[in-house]
Structures are given as structure tokens and as C-alpha cells.
């Protein structure tokens, strides 16, 4: 690549201290972002797409690290590599949030029974179980429900609006028993044609 750039009139210093570090930076952003998405798909049982992402992740990483070894005397390469890792982590988290793939288990603990919350969950067609429990301060109401991740923000806002003393925990769920609730059928709210084809 260096020979190509030199043949195009790009000076050696410009290539070494600007173009090559930028290429390493963007390559690192790409492979770290793909790594984040690959882990997300693995956690959600996507056996078809995860290996493909793993292939491209490894390929991009090898290209980036290969350029590092060829430019070991250039400190800008190291900085670009590290900066690309940090930026790639952010980009991967952004896409993971936008995809909102999978389901989560939500536990809601309230000091007293909350019929308004139960009615809301019925209206939204959430499946839930509620039981009485014993807390540090006495009797509490414990509610379990499983929902799509893209419904989580709205649900939590509703819980807080109905009971500002409610305590809740959230956990990822790989799959559930009912066929109609299987996470393999989830659709992301962030449309990407590549991922849409991978789900088919």
C-alpha cells in the first residue's frame, strides 16, 4: 500500500504519520464493533450470524496488527490502535443498543400490591407472575415478567410513574420455553439490511 501511495505522489511522512494511523484506527473500530455484535448474537443464540462476524473480526484484526508490525518504529500506529479500540467499543455499544435484540427478565419489588401496574401489563400483553414475599422492612410484592428489550424503557418509565419506591432488577434471557416468545423470532428496532438477511 505504501508503494501505491508513493506512486500517487503522497509523501512518505504523510503516509507514515497520518494515512497509516488512520487506516489502523478505522480497522480497529471495525473489528471491535464487530466483536461486540458477535458476542451479542452469541448470547441470543444466533448460530448463523455469529461465526460470520467472527470471520470478519479476525480478518480485520490481522490486517491492523500486520500494519503495526510493519510500522513498529512509528508511535502514531500504537496511538491509533489504542484509540480505535476505545472508539470501537463505543460504536459497538451504540449498535447493540439500537438493535435492542433479545428479551430480558425484569423483577419488580413494590412495598404494596400495585393493581395499576398489573392492569398495565395486561393491557400491553406482558406475561407476568406476581407473588407475595418478605423483605427487610416487611411484606412486599414481587413481580416477574419477560419482555423484548425494545419495550424495556417504556415499561420502567411506567413502573417509576406508578410507584417511585419500586425496586427492579433486569437480566438478559437467552430463550424462553414458549415458541411464540422464542428470542430467535425477535426483530430489531434498528433496521440494517445485512442483519435482516442474516435473520432469515
At 127-171, the pLDDT tens digits run 888 898 887 878 889 999 988 888 888 999 999 999 888 899 998
Shared-domain flag, residues 110 and 185: yes
Between residues 7 and 152, the one the model is more confident about? 152
Output phi, psi for 99, to 5 deg: -70, -35
Cβ neighbours of 2 (radius 10 Å): 15
Least Cα distance to 190 among 149, 146, 154, 156 occurs for 149
Assign residue 173 the CATH number of its domain: 3.30.70.120
Q: What is the pLDDT of residue 163?
A: 87
Summarised one tens digit per residue, pLDDT across range 105-114 is 899 998 888 8
Of the candidates 166, 167, 165, 154, the residue with the CA atom closest to the CA atom of residue 123: 154
Residue 143 lies in domain: 103-193
Give the pLDDT confidence of 35-51 residue by residue, as tens digits: 988 887 887 677 788 88
Is residue 174 in a domain?
Answer: yes
Query: What pTM was estimated for this model as a whole?
Result: 0.59
- Residues 50, 73, single domain; the answer is yes
Q: Assess whether 78 and 125 both reside in one domain.
A: no
Which of 52, 82, 99 marks a domain boundary? 99
Residues 107 and 158 reside in one and the same domain: yes
Amino acid at each position: 500500500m505504501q508503494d501505491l501511495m508513493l506512486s500517487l505522489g503522497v509523501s512518505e511522512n504523510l503516509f507514515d504519520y497520518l494515512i497509516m494511523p488512520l487506516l489502523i484506527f478505522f480497522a480497529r473500530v471495525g473489528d471491535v464493533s464487530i466483536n461486540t455484535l458477535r458476542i451479542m448474537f452469541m448470547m441470543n443464540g444466533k448460530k448463523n450470524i455469529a461465526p460470520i462476524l467472527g470471520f470478519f473480526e479476525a480478518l480485520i484484526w490481522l490486517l491492523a496488527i500486520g500494519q503495526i508490525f510493519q510500522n513498529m518504529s512509528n508511535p502514531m500506529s500504537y496511538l491509533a490502535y489504542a484509540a480505535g479500540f476505545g472508539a470501537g467499543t463505543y460504536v459497538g455499544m451504540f449498535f447493540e443498543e439500537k438493535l435492542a435484540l433479545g428479551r430480558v427478565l425484569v423483577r419488580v419489588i413494590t412495598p404494596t400490591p400495585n393493581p395499576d401496574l398489573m392492569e398495565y401489563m395486561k393491557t400491553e400483553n406482558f406475561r407476568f407472575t406476581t407473588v407475595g414475599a418478605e423483605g427487610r422492612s416487611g411484606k412486599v410484592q414481587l413481580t416477574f415478567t419477560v419482555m423484548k428489550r425494545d419495550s424495556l424503557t417504556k415499561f420502567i418509565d411506567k413502573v417509576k410513574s406508578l410507584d417511585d419506591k419500586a425496586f427492579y432488577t433486569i437480566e438478559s434471557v437467552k430463550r424462553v420455553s414458549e415458541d411464540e416468545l422464542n428470542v430467535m423470532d425477535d426483530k430489531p428496532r434498528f433496521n440494517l439490511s445485512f442483519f435482516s438477511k442474516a435473520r432469515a
